[in-house]
Amino acid sequence: MTTSTEELREEVRRKYAEAAEAASKGSQGSCGSGSCCGTTADADFGQGLYEAEQRDELPEVAALASLGCGNPTAVADLREGETVLDLGSGGGIDVILSAKRVGPTGLAYGLDMTEEMLALARRNAVEAGVRNAIFLRGVIEDVPLPADSVDVVISNCVVNLSTDKPAVLAELARVLRPGGRLGISDVVAEDRLNAAERAERGSFVGCIAGALSKDDYETGLAAAGFEDVSVTFTHEVEDGIHGAIVKARRPADAEPTALPVSAAAPGCC
C-alpha cells in the first residue's frame, strides 16, 4: 500500500511527539524501529555525539530528547552576533548550544512542527538560562521567516524526514543572507542504493528510507544556488547508509531573494 505525503508527515509528527513525552518523563526518546537512532549508549546517536562539556551546558531533559545523527553546532563555526536557524529543533539541544555560541547580540531560531517538542524546547531554554532563543511552529518546506534573514542554517537528522526535499533546499537558499552557510548533520545514502534498497534497510520515520543519496544532495544544493557544496560521510548506520556532514554556502554576490514569506520574523519566544 502506498503511503501518502500527509500520512508520512503525520507518522513523523506522532513519533516525535511520543519522543518528547518520553523525555519529559525522564526516558530517552526514540524515533521508532528500523531507525538510525541506536540506543542511549550509542556514541553515534543523540546525546552521545556531544562533548561532555556541551552536555554540561544542557538540561538533562534536552539531552534525553536528542534524536540526531550528528552535532551540527560542532561544524557550523558559529560566531558572536550571528542569527542561526535550526530546522527540526526538537527538544532544543542545538538551539540552546547555538544561542550560547552567538551570544547576547546573536539570535537562535528553532523550527519544529510538533507542539510537544516546542513546549519541551521552550522549558529547556528557560532552564538553561537562554534568552536569545525563539521557537517557531512550522514545517521545513515553508519556513516562517523572511528572506535573507539568517546567517547560518543548521539541522540534525531532519532533512531526510521531509517529503519534499527540493522545497527544503529552496527554503534554505531563501532564508539565508548572501554569504550565509549551511552546517547540517543528516543521514545520506551511498549512490549505489536505489529507493527500494534504502527502504529495505529502515523506515521513513526512522530516518533511513527517506535519505537522499550523496549525489542527489550535492546536485540539489547546487540547483538551489549553493556553492562550496560538500557531503562527508562520518559513520555508517546501515549498509550503505551513513551519518554525514553537509556544508554549503550561498554566494556572497547572490541577488537578495524576493520570494514571499508565510510570516514575518516574530519578536518573542
**Cα–Cα distance, 249 to 75 (Å, whole number):** 13
Class of residue 207 by CB neighbours under 10 A (exposed 0-12, middle 13-18, buried 19+): buried
Buried b or exposed e, range 211-235, using 16+ CB within 10 angstroms: bbbbebbbebbeebbbeebebeebe
| Nearest residue to 261 via CA among 143, 180, 141 | 143
For the cut 90, the answer to whether the pLDDT of residue 248 exceeds it is yes
Q: Are 74 and 60 in contact (CB under 8 A)?
A: no
The residues spanned by each domain of the chain are 5-249
Nearest alpha carbon to residue 107 among 125, 87, 128, 132: 132
| pLDDT of the residue at 258 | 53
- Over residues 183-195, the mean pLDDT reads 96
Per DSSP bridges, beta strands 133-137 and 107-112 are parallel
What is the grid cell recorded at 184? 547540517
**With 70 as the cut, is the pLDDT of residue 126 above it?**
yes
Mean pLDDT of 230-240: 95
Task: Read off the pLDDT band of 26 (50, 70, 90).
Answer: low
Q: Supply the pLDDT for residue 56.
A: 54
Q: Residue 86: pLDDT above 70?
A: yes
For residue 58, the model assigns a pLDDT of 54
Q: Determine the Cα–Cα distance for residues 256 and 227; give it in Å rounded to an integer.
A: 16
pTM of the model: 0.82
**How does residue 43 score in pLDDT terms, banded at 50, 70 and 90?**
very low
Residues 6+ apart with CB under 8 A from 246: 159, 182, 183, 184, 185, 186, 188, 217, 221, 230, 231, 232
Q: What is the pLDDT of residue 167?
A: 97
Burial class (CB in 10 A: 0-12, 13-18, 19+), 43: exposed
Q: pLDDT tier at 72 (50, 70, 90 boundaries)? A: confident
| CATH architecture of the domain formed by 5-249 | 3-Layer(aba) Sandwich (3.40)
Whether the per-residue pLDDT at 228 is higher than 90: the answer is: yes
Return the higher-pLDDT residue of 265 and 26.
26
Instruction: Report, as an integer, the average pLDDT of 156-168.
Output: 94
Query: Which range, 50-54, 114-118, 169-173, has the best average confidence (pLDDT)?
Result: 169-173
